[in-house]
Chain A
Amino acid sequence: MQSFEYASPTTLQEALSLLSTQWGEVDILAGGTDLLALMKDYIHTPKRVVNIKGIKELGGIQQTSAGLRIGAIVTIRELLENELVQKEYPALIQAARGIRGMQLRNMGTIGGDLCQRPRCWYFRNGFGLLALKDGKSLIPDGENRYHAIFPQGQAYFVSASSFGPPLIALGARVKLASTGGTRELPVEQFFVAPQREGEREIALKPNEILTEILVPPAKGVRNATYEIRPDEGVNWPLVTASVALRMEGNRVASARIVMGHVGPTPVQAVKAAAWLKGKQITEAVAEEAGRRAVEGAKPLSQNGYKVQLAQVAVKRALLAAVAK
C-alpha cells in the first residue's frame, strides 16, 4: 500500500471539501472491504483517503413519502435486519443474503457495494479495467469464463454490485453530492460502461459522494432476487436476476427484469419485461421470459454457460416473486 494522508470528517461538507476533481488522487473509505485490497495491490494509489463512516447524515434507513431512504454507509447487516426493508423489499434482502460471511456483512456498506470496482481478474492483476493490449482487449481471447455475455464495446468485465440489479428493478435513485450541490440519478444511469482505460464504471464524479439511495414504495410490487452461486462460500455469484412486478390481480401490469454479473453494468431485459405485461406468472411464462431476457447475448469463448444461467435466474426470480 502506498502511503496516504487520511481524514475522517464528521460532516458531508467537510468530506466533500477534501475530494479531488481527478480520479486517482483521493479515495473514499467506507467498509474498506474492497478499497484496502485495491490499495494493497497498487490498483489504487490514492494520495488521500477520506473515511466517511463518521458522517452521521450518511447513515440510517428511513421511510419517507417518496419511499425508503437508505444512507450510503448503511451496512449490509443493518439492511438485512431492517424491518422496513424486510417488509417490502425481498429483492434487496435476498441480494444482501448473497453477501456471505459475518465480517463482510458487518463491514460492507450499500454505497460501497454500488461503488466497488469490478472483480475482473485482468483488472485485479494490473492489466487495466479494459485489459487493453495494443488497443485491443485481452479478454475475448483470454480467460473469460466469468466475463460478460452482454459486453459493451471494449468493456467485457462484469459489474460486481449485488444491489445494482434489485435497485434498478425497484426503480431506485441515487443521490450524489458535491460542493456544488446534489444531483439524483436513476440507479440504471449510475452504472456506465467505460470505453477508454482510466474511465470509471460508475457515473459518480471524483468530487462527488454517493450519499443515499431512494427506493420507491413497493407495496403491491412483487419483487425478488435470485442468485446462482458457484458454491456456498464468500464468492461473487455467477449470475443474478432481480425482478419487480406491479400486479393487477394475478396479472402483470408492468415489470422490470435486471440481470447481474452478465455485463459491465446490470443488464435490463426490457423486451422480456414488456412481454410479461398482462400475463400470469406461470412456470412456462417465467421460462419464456428467461429465454427472451437472454436474447442478444454475445457470449465469449468460455462463458456460454452464463446465458443459460441468466435464463434460469430470471425464471426463478419471477417464480420467487410471485410465490407466497
Chain B
Amino acid sequence: MSRPQKRGTTTRRHGVSRRSFIRGVSLGTGALQAGLFPLTLDAAQSAAKVVGPGPVEVTLWVNGKQHTLKVEPRVTLLDALRDRLGIVGPKRSCDRGTCGSCTVLLDGKAVYACSILAIDAAGKNIQTPEILGEGSEPDVVARAFVNQDAMQCGYCTPGFAIAVKAFLEKYPNPTDELIKEELSGNLCRCGTYVGIRRAIYEAAKHMGGRNG
C-alpha cells in the first residue's frame, strides 16, 4: 500500500502460489499428542490434520516478506508479529478486540491482530502500519496524520492510521456517518479524534476522493 502500488492491491508473493504452501501450515510437525488429552476427543479419522498443542511451523507473509517460525497454535497473530518477528508497529493494548491498537491488514482488510491466531493468518497477506513509511515517501495517510497533528502519545496511532488507510481504500469519499460506523473500532485515550477526522478528509483529498 505504499505509493507505487495500485489501490486495494497487495504485495505479490513472488513465485509462491497459495496452494503450494497450504495455508502456510506445515502439517507434519505437531501431530496429535493423544496422550495429553482425555479420550472423549475422537479425532481418529482426522488425526493427520490436527496440529499442536506444541509449536507448529507457520509461514507468515508480512509486508511482502516471508517469515517462517514455530509457534504454538494458541499464539495470536499480534504476539507472533511482536514477540517472534520484532514487528512492533501493531500495539497491544486491550488484547480483547475492542481498542484497535493492534490493527493490521489481512488480505487488504482491517482486522484485530489480537483476535486472530497466527496459525490462522498463515499464508495470508499481512500488512502492518510499518508499510505507511516504507515507500519512497511516506504514505498520504501518514502525512495527513502528521499535518493534522492527529496523534499525541502515539500508541493508538499506527493501528488507527492503518485502519484509516483501509477505510479510504474502501470509501474514497468518506462521510462522518461512514467514519462513525467503520472507524469506531479504534480508541484513542489522548483524545486526538478531531485531528484524525481532519486527517481522514485531508488524505481522502490527496487520494482523489470528492469529499476531501
Contacts and interface: CB of A to CB of B under 8 A. Distances in A.
- Direct interface between A and B, CB < 8 A: yes
Interface of A: 1-9, 14, 17-18, 20-22, 25-26, 29, 31-33, 36-37, 39-41, 47-49, 51, 53-54, 77, 97, 100-107, 232-234
Nearest to B72: A3
B45 to A, nearest CB: 5
A125 to B, nearest CB: 13
Given A4-B53, A232-B184, 5 more contacts: A7-B43, A14-B46, A33-B97, A100-B182, A107-B115
Interface string B102-134: 010010011110111101100000000000000
Contacts of B166: 102
B185 A104 contact: yes
8 contacts: A5-B51, A8-B49, A8-B120, A49-B117, A102-B185, A103-B110, A105-B182, A233-B187
B49 A37 contact: no
B52 A101 contact: no
A14 B112 CA distance: 28
Given A17-B45, A33-B97, A102-B163, A5 B53 contact: yes
Interface of B: 23, 25, 30, 32-33, 36-38, 40-43, 45-46, 49-54, 56, 72-74, 76, 95-98, 100, 103, 106, 109-112, 114-117, 119-120, 163, 166-167, 170, 180-187
A105 B112 CA distance: 11
Contacts of A54: 23
Contact of A40 (B42, B46, B96, B112): B96
Contacts of A232: 180, 184
Contacts of B30: 5
A105 B46 CA distance: 32
Contacts, number: 148
A107 B112 contact: yes
Given A32-B116, A107-B112, A7 B51 contact: yes
Nearest to A2: B74
A6 B111 contact: no
Given A20-B41, A32-B117, A101-B184, A5 B50 contact: yes
B116 A107 contact: yes
Contact of B52 (A4, A105, A234): A4
A36 B45 CA distance: 27
A1 B53 CA distance: 12
B95 A40 contact: yes
A102 B53 CA distance: 31
Contacts of B49: 7-9, 14
A243 to B, nearest CB: 22
Contact of A103 (B25, B53, B72, B100): B100
A103 B115 CA distance: 10
A104 B96 CA distance: 12
B115 A5 contact: no
A32 B180 CA distance: 23
A290 to B, nearest CB: 26
A25 B97 contact: no
Nearest to A41: B96
Contact of A18 (B43, B106, B117, B182): B43
A100 B40 contact: no
Contacts of A106: 106, 109-111
